[in-house]
Amino acid sequence: MRYLLLVLVSTVLFSCGSNQDKNATSNLDDKLPKFEFAEDIKNVDFGSLKEGAQVEHTFKFKNVGDFPLIINNVSASCGCTIPEWPRQPIGPGDEGAILVRFNSKGKQGQQFKTVTIYANTNPATTDIQFKADVEAAKDSVTTSSL
């Protein structure tokens, strides 16, 4: 009987502590830096391009969290895509931008590219995705899609 009572009391105590940990984590997540982009970042369409054309797009965002937003790195899924990002922390309520340049040289057909942002957010990564339809140049011999 004592054993049963001890197990019951232990279970209650541990579950209370667990709820407190979850609440503390939830409250912290609410305050972490957060991207709020001015547009949909998952379906950007550069449209039809002639092979060799270069296009760029600026993705504007605001930090809607309570702590400074620090972008550690931004990487592209292909060497044909070059991102530029702010190296300084973006304060709460402040705005920033990520510039993405796509070079279609040597690319043909439908192109789907991803740019991954690594920052002190939850989750720690955010993906920008874009597409383009690249029309082959008359003298082109290279074909690639990702």
Q: How confident is the model at residue 137 (pLDDT cuts 50, 70, 90)?
A: confident
Q: What is the mean pLDDT of residues 122-128?
A: 97
Give the pLDDT of residue 30.
84
Is the pLDDT at 104 greater than 50? The verdict is: yes
Q: How confident is the model at residue 17 (pLDDT cuts 50, 70, 90)?
A: low
Amino acid at 99: L
- Reported pTM: 0.77
Mean pLDDT across the chain: 85
Is the pLDDT at 117 greater than 90? The verdict is: yes
Retrieve residue 121's tokens.
Answer: 């957010």
Give the pLDDT of residue 40.
94
Give the pLDDT of residue 55.
97
Is the pLDDT at 63 greater than 90? The verdict is: yes
Give the pLDDT of residue 25.
53
Is the pLDDT at 4 greater than 70? The verdict is: no
Is the pLDDT at 115 greater than 50? The verdict is: yes
